[in-house]
C-alpha cells in the first residue's frame, strides 16, 4: 500500500431512517430514536468478527461522506454551531467537506444478528444517511475515549431543543397510519424537528417556507412559527 495513495474497502453499509441529508442531526446521539442497521459485506459474514462486541454499550463508526465526497473542500468552513456565518479552519470542524471525506460517530450498540447469510448490527442515535459506506467499527472505551476536563471550544455545550413540535389534525391521522409500520416514527419526528434542522443562518423566529424531512421514505413537511414547528403533512414517497 502506497502512503501517497491509500485505498480502502468498505466493510458494510448503513440502513438508516434518514433518506436525505437535510434533517439529519449534526452529531450522533441527539436523536435516540434514530435507529438503524449496519449490514456487513459478504467478506465479513463470519459472526466471529463481532465476538464479544455485546460487552460494549457504544461503538465508534468510521464512514465515508459518500454524497459529498466529490465536492470541493476549502481551508475554512462556516459551522452551524456558529450560526453558519463565522468561519473556522476545516480541521477545527466536523464539516463533511474535507480533504479526505471521512466521518466518525459514536453510536449506541443495541444488538447484532445473522439473517439470510448476512450480519447486521443494530445501532441507536445514529446521524448517518441511508446507504453510507462503513469503513471500520471499533468499541467505545470510556476510560480512553471520554476526557471529562476536555475543552470543546465553540461546541462545548450539547445543542438544546429549539422548537416545540405539534401536528396538524391531518398530520395526526396520517401519522397513525404510518406508525403501524414504523413504531418509532413519532418520536423520531419529535426529536429531529425539535433540533430545528433549518439552515443555521435562517433560524430566527418564524419562517414562511415549508420544509420537508424524509424518514423511512416518508416526507414530513413542516413550517416554523415562532418557537413551534408545525407538522403539516406526512406523505410516503417510496417503499422502504
Does residue 183 sit in helix, strand or coil? coil
Q: Does the residue 27 lie in any domain?
A: yes
Angle at 54 between CA 50 and CA 57, to 5 degrees: 125
Q: Name the pTM for this structure.
A: 0.88
Give the count of domains, the chain. Answer: 2
End residue of a domain, out of 154, 177, 206? 154
Q: How far apart are CA 123 and CA 61, in angstroms?
A: 10
Structure-block grid coordinates of residue 96: 463533511
Mark whether 39 and 119 lie in a shared domain. yes
Tell me, what CATH number does 138's domain have?
2.40.30.70
Domain interval for residue 85? 12-154
Q: Does the residue 7 lie in any domain?
A: no
Ranges assigned E (strand) in 102-238: 102-115, 118-124, 133-139, 164-167, 207-215, 218-225, 228-236
* Helix 185-194 × helix 169-179 angle, to 10°: 130
Angle at 198 between CA 195 and CA 201, to 5 degrees: 110
The arithmetic mean of pLDDT across residues 214-221, rounded, is 93
Residue 196 CA, chain-centre distance (Å), reads: 14
- Summarised one tens digit per residue, pLDDT across range 118-148 is 999 999 999 999 999 999 999 999 999 999 9
Q: What is the mean pLDDT of the chain?
A: 90
Tell me, what CATH number does 171's domain have?
3.30.2310
Mark whether 55 and 172 lie in a shared domain. no
Q: State the pLDDT confidence band at 187, using cuts at 50, 70 and 90.
A: very high
CB 22, CB 213: distance < 8 Å? yes
Helices (H), 35-160: 142-145
- Summarised one tens digit per residue, pLDDT across range 188-206 is 999 999 999 888 766 665 6
Mark whether 148 and 73 lie in a shared domain. yes
Q: Does the residue 133 lie in any domain?
A: yes
Mark whether 40 and 145 lie in a shared domain. yes
- Summarised one tens digit per residue, pLDDT across range 146-178 is 999 999 888 888 877 789 999 999 999 999 999
Q: How far apart are CA 57 and CA 55, in angstroms?
A: 7
Amino acid at each position: 500500500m502506497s502512503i501517497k495513495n491509500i485505498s480502502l474497502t468498505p466493510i458494510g453499509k448503513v440502513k438508516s431512517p434518514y433518506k436525505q441529508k437535510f434533517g439529519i442531526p449534526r452529531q450522533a446521539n441527539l436523536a435516540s430514536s434514530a435507529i438503524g442497521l449496519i449490514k456487513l459485506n459478504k467478506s465479513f459474514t463470519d459472526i466471529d468478527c463481532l465476538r464479544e462486541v455485546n460487552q460494549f454499550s457504544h461503538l465508534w463508526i468510521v464512514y465515508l461522506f459518500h454524497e459529498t465526497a466529490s465536492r470541493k473542500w476549502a481551508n475554512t468552513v462556516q459551522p452551524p454551531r456558529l450560526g453558519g456565518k463565522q468561519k473556522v479552519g476545516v480541521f477545527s470542524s466536523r464539516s463533511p467537506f474535507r480533504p479526505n471525506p471521512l466521518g466518525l460517530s459514536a453510536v449506541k450498540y443495541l444488538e447484532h444478528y445473522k439473517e439470510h447469510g448476512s450480519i447486521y448490527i443494530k445501532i441507536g442515535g445514529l446521524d448517518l444517511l441511508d446507504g453510507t459506506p462503513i469503513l471500520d467499527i471499533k468499541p467505545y472505551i470510556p476510560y480512553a475515549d471520554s476526557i471529562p476536563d476536555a475543552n470543546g471550544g465553540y461546541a462545548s455545550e450539547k445543542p438544546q431543543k429549539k422548537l416545540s413540535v405539534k401536528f396538524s389534525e391531518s398530520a395526526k391521522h396520517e401519522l397513525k397510519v404510518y406508525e403501524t409500520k414504523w413504531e418509532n416514527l413519532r418520536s423520531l419526528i419529535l426529536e429531529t424537528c425539535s433540533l430545528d434542522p433549518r439552515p443555521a443562518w435562517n433560524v430566527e423566529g418564524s419562517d414562511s417556507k415549508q420544509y420537508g424531512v424524509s424518514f423511512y421514505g416518508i416526507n414530513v413537511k413542516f413550517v416554523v412559527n415562532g418557537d413551534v414547528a408545525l407538522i403539516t403533512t406526512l406523505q410516503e414517497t417510496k417503499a422502504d
